[in-house]
Structure 1
């Protein structure tokens, strides 16, 4: 089975020696993704905006892998300040409200103090005829 590496262009990928995503068969593993706008390496000050940018970055990686957010089966959230996690829930509902993947949140420090959230997802590319259970 062929392994495909996907890069976002983030300078962190080369410095730390990782890929934004790995595609292995129908599986897509998206690395912990922060709220940096990789086009200009800026990051917003608040968790709400960073969460939105994280998910845009994840969508871009999934698209390059031939997948979408609808293919996401697992999400891990890492938040340095657990009391801020609720502030990003509206964004999470916007992106995952109908998908409802298995998820967990961990409160832990991140590599850069400007980072308010990091999100990692696992997806499995579905065939167009794969049924989903809305319950």
Structure 2
């Protein structure tokens, strides 16, 4: 991917959000302003998506922008970034960002809320891969 949002024209995307994640993002947006996600692929909490104020986590050539998520009630898209190294292993998966009870990383904005973001994944179908240009 070239760092721009590239969903297929039919709306096929690599990333979606659960209702619980959407609700949490709305609350976080009210408190912190525009948001972004980054998933580094590290161990432990590093393997969970981390939510930051937009621009607080510096992305670069070692990161891939998987999606600009449109979230009802959030005025601007929420970027979802992943380390390029992890993307090479996960390029054939569809990711759903969810929010569940529990304590996440201290660096992610949801940590004080008593919930954490996590990823649920499934393989992209052959049709989805074709629409995404794979």
Query: Which of the two has greater helix per residue?
Result: 1
TM-score for the superposition, normalised by structure 1: 0.30
TM-score for the superposition, normalised by structure 2: 0.30
